[in-house]
Amino acid sequence: MTEIDRRVRRTRGNLSYALLELMVEKGYDAITIQDLLDRANVGRTTFYDHYRDKDDLLVEGLKNLRSFLREHQRAAIARTGPLRDRALGFSLAMFEHAGEQRALFRAIVGRRAGTIVMQHVRRMFQELVRDDLAALGVRGTEVPVEAIVEFAVGSLMSILMWWADLRSNVPDAAHADAMFRRLTIPGILAAVGR
Amino acid sequence: MTEIDRRVRRTRGNLSYALLELMVEKGYDAITIQDLLDRANVGRTTFYDHYRDKDDLLVEGLKNLRSFLREHQRAAIARTGPLRDRALGFSLAMFEHAGEQRALFRAIVGRRAGTIVMQHVRRMFQELVRDDLAALGVRGTEVPVEAIVEFAVGSLMSILMWWADLRSNVPDAAHADAMFRRLTIPGILAAVGR
DNA sequence: GACGATTATGAACACCGTGTTCGGTATCGA
DNA sequence: TCGATACCGAACACGGTGTTCATAATCGTC
């Protein structure tokens, strides 16, 4: 019931796809509404019927990534083992996913990506990490939990960005993830005193 | 010799000061060239005689911070002691400096700051950290040095941002710096295998 | 397959911010 | 005092945004 009109699906789909293509080609910031319309074959009025602005369109696209990571996170938390293995359990999935679609990924999180995109991604990671630490019972004693969250997110973003922009001698996803964990987890353990 | 014309100094000074004021008031992104001209009492033409655009003006302002940090860095490297104490020796100075001018600092590196500002600050930190690790003879074995640099920068930016935006229970600069180091240094040591 | 409702269209428009041009004026340093 | 240098503001072209309106295409349904 209340199925979405086929025309609406078509319009939205075309616009989302056009956005991704253009992000890869010229970077988010440089994309103009007119670019999107031309690429997606959609009228100007139509665009504004569906979205408030470019950002609005972007957010819709990021929802997929979010649910994907949430799923992997759940699995890792449910596992058994030491904290150092279970924490931030979505990271490998993130690196693997990124590795599969490097071009798109570079457009999302690479140097050229543009701030707004990064902000949304960052916010997404914050939620994930916060829930992760909470689920594992990590408590801030001397270092507040929020500081630990920010630390982990900053670290993840940095390594992802670095990795996404590498052009030669690119380590595979598993190695990149291992580096991230090796750099990040010790600090978390030190901060919570375990 | 070749002293700079008094009028030039006046114009540049007024513009720089106006930029800082306006950043605090409304955030970098929202500032318009016209805002700057009105605040600084400078003609439109004059502005473009001195700077290419808003960014250009910003960069000039950040040069002070840069040289300030460079100085503290040199001092820390020259010290004796274990790596864990000498590395990233400018961090305390950074936190202290930030603590003294919170409002301005929040405008530069807080959530409202705007991407361009952040990018410049980030680039500045990258240089500093890269030189720091090089001066201390840190070599990447399994984890490339660049990855370590990115990690440290990401971590520093995160903690600074978090700290800058805190509204209550704000730890002092020394504590904030201690948290940063406690979170970050273990990962670096783990990565280089010492 | 016809018909009413919904959605798409594109041209025109007002608005705002950017960066440039120009002729004229004020201030500097010597 | 005088030549060089810096400043000024008004006007302009340009490009991107988001809105409007009347018209056309497409949909779901009976």
Give this prediction's pTM: 0.91
Tokens 């922009």 locate to: A165
Closest chain B residue to the Cα of A118, Cα to Cα: B115
For chain A, the C-alpha Rg in angstroms (whole number) is: 19
Asked if strand C contacts A139 at the CB level, meaning under 7 A, the answer is no
Counting beta carbons within 10 angstroms of the beta carbon of residue A128, is it exposed (0 to 12), middle (13 to 18) or buried (19 or more)?
buried
Nearest residue to A176 (alpha-carbon basis) of A68, A65, A121, A94: A94
Averaged pLDDT of chain B: 93
CA dist B136 and B152 (Å) reads: 15
Cβ distance B158 to A153 less than 8 Å, yes or no, reads: yes
Which CATH number is associated with domain A62-191? 1.10.357
Nearest to B150 among A151, A159, A191 (CB): A159
User: Residue B164's pLDDT band (boundaries 50, 70, 90)?
Assistant: very high
B174 at interface of A, judged by CB pairs closer than 8 A: no
Q: In this predicted model, what pLDDT tens digit does every residue of A54-99 receive, in sequence order?
A: 999 999 988 888 889 999 999 888 888 898 999 999 999 999 999 9
Cβ distance B190 to A182 less than 8 Å, yes or no, reads: yes
Closest chain A residue to the Cα of B169, Cα to Cα: A144
What is the structure's pLDDT at A126?
96
User: Residue B141's pLDDT band (boundaries 50, 70, 90)?
Assistant: confident
Nucleotides of D under 7 A from a protein CB: 5-11, 15-22, 26-28
**Class of CATH domain A1-51:** mainly alpha
What residues of chain A lie within 8 A of the CB of B147, using their CB? Answer: 159, 162-163, 179, 183
Q: In this predicted model, what pLDDT tens digit does every residue of B93-124 receive, in sequence order?
A: 999 999 999 999 999 888 777 778 888 999 99
CA dist B30 and B23 (Å) reads: 8
Q: In this predicted model, what pLDDT tens digit does every residue of B64-89 receive, in sequence order?
A: 889 999 999 999 989 999 999 999 99
Domain-by-domain residue ranges, chain B? 1-51, 62-191
What residues of chain A lie within 8 A of the CB of B159, using their CB? Answer: 147, 150-151, 154
Q: Note whether A1-51 and A62-191 share their fold.
A: no
CA dist B98 and B105 (Å) reads: 6
B183 at interface of A, judged by CB pairs closer than 8 A: yes
